[in-house]
């Protein structure tokens, strides 16, 4: 209340979490970092009297997807490689390539954020029908016969309808890029697809490997994105157990000395996180988003989570 008037607080923008199994939450026993991130935000807002302002946090992770597949779902331009006849009962088979000429294989492992797609001006369902990346397109409404020309733009549902959001991009663990510049191009395709996204995004770096193995990649990411880049490997190898609120084991300390994420935050495969690890990742992302004012609290509400920089 201010001067007897109730101040209506706008809802925070949605958060789109783009990624693979590390975003989907494999081996988290039901926990995911997007889910944990929303809980942290909700707890802060509810404690300050603004539960209605809790944003949507979308988990757009598909286990096993490459960086290229994720980028295609998130806004990287895709085009048909042959004309498509729009005709009731007729099934046209075609291929799709991404800008740059690479073959597209979306829907290989999941449909999250893909359907319904828009090809040219026509909305419908895209289906992948074989391992050779052949697709069919079924229009939602067939009112007339028409032909969509070769090189028609293919736009996923998420790329068209989830644009007023803050993207959190955690991609690259499964390959799909030729070099660091290619990975950055894919990340930027997702960023630039968002409305007003110049300073409204987070890029999460790969957490695997040692400091020595990741030096060149991490340096380029830092130069490109500045504080919008989270060097997850470095942060967790230095402060992971502290952020998680646990005591480091002997194995944790050994791994951390090598610049690796401590074992206590990882699943048995030492690639995916366990539930505690996903919660820790959420804390790190939340703290950085708050520091960059990507998450803004209404009327004096304050974040109590420390900002974890390197």
Sheet strands (E) in 45-116:
57-61, 78-80, 84-86, 96-98
pLDDT at 275: 99
% the chain with pLDDT above 90: 80
Helix and strand numbers (H, E) in the chain are 9, 13
pLDDT at 142: 73
State which H helix or E strand residue 146 sits in: strand 146-148
pLDDT at 91: 80
pLDDT at 47: 81
Confidence of residue 4 (pLDDT cuts 50, 70, 90): very low
pLDDT at 3: 42
**φ, ψ for residue 266, nearest 5 deg:** -110, 155
Mean pLDDT along residues 76-89: 90
Question: Given a cut of 50, is residue 88 above it in pLDDT?
Answer: yes
pLDDT at 89: 66
CA 68 to chain centre: 12
pLDDT at 169: 99
Q: Tell me the CA distances in angstroms from 148 to 3, 83, 126, 152, one per residue in order.
A: 59, 5, 14, 7
Mean pLDDT along residues 262-268: 99
pLDDT at 103: 95
For 117-131, 134-148, 163-177, 261-275, which range has the lowest pLDDT when averaged over its residues?
A: 134-148
pLDDT at 214: 95
pLDDT at 145: 73
Question: Given a cut of 60, is residue 300 above it in pLDDT?
Answer: no
Question: Given a cut of 60, is residue 302 above it in pLDDT?
Answer: no
User: What's the whole-number average pLDDT of the chain?
Assistant: 91
Mean pLDDT along residues 143-163: 92
Q: Which of the pair, 9 or 247, is modelled with greater confidence? A: 247
Q: Which residue has the tokens 């039901």?
A: 30
% the chain with pLDDT above 70: 91
Q: In the 3-class helix/strand/coil scheme, how is 222-263 assigned residue by residue?
A: HHHHHHHEECHHHHHHHHHHHHHCCCCCHHHHHHHHCCCCCH
Q: Which of 204, 188, 163, 170 is nearest to 288 (CA)?
A: 204
Per-residue model confidence as pLDDT tens digits over 15-74: 999 999 999 999 999 999 999 999 999 998 888 777 778 899 999 999 999 999 999 999
- Judge if the upstream peptide bond of residue 116 is cis by omega within 30 degrees of 0: yes
Confidence of residue 9 (pLDDT cuts 50, 70, 90): low
Mean pLDDT along residues 165-177: 98
pLDDT at 268: 98
Q: Note the CATH number of domain 14-71+162-291.
A: 3.40.50.1110
pLDDT at 100: 80
Q: Which of the pair, 134 or 99, is modelled with greater confidence? A: 134
């Amino acid at each position: 209340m201010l001067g007897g008037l109730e101040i209506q607080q706008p809802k925070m923008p949605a958060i789109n979490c783009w990624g693979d199994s590390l975003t989907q939450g494999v081996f988290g026993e039901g926990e995911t970092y997007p889910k944990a991130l929303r809980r942290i935000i909700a707890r802060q807002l509810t404690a300050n009297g603004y539960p209605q302002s809790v944003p949507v946090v979308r988990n757009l992770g598909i286990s096993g997807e490459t960086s290229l597949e994720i980028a295609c779902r998130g806004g990287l331009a895709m085009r048909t490689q042959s004309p498509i006849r729009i005709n009731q009962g007729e099934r046209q088979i075609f291929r799709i390539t991404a800008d740059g000429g690479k073959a597209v294989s979306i829907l290989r492992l999941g449909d999250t954020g893909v359907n319904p797609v828009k090809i040219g001006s026509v909305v419908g369902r895209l289906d992948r029908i074989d391992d050779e990346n052949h697709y069919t397109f079924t229009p939602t409404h067939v009112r007339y016969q028409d032909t969509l020309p070769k090189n028609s733009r293919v736009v996923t549902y998420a790329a068209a309808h989830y644009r007023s959001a803050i993207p959190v991009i955690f991609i690259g663990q499964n390959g799909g890029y030729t070099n660091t510049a290619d990975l950055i191009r894919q990340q930027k395709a997702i960023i630039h697809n968002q409305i007003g996204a110049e300073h409204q995004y987070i890029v999460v770096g790969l957490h695997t490997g040692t400091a020595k193995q990741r030096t060149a990649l991490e340096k380029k990411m830092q130069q490109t994105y500045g504080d919008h880049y989270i060097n997850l490997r470095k942060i967790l190898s230095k402060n992971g157990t502290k952020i998680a609120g646990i005591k480091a084991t002997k194995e944790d300390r050994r791994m951390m000395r090598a610049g690796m994420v401590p074992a206590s935050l990882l699943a048995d495969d030492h690639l995916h996180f366990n539930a505690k690890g996903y919660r820790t990742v959420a804390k790190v992302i939340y703290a950085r988003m708050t520091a960059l004012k990507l998450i803004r609290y209404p009327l004096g509400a304050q974040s109590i989570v420390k900002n974890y920089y390197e």
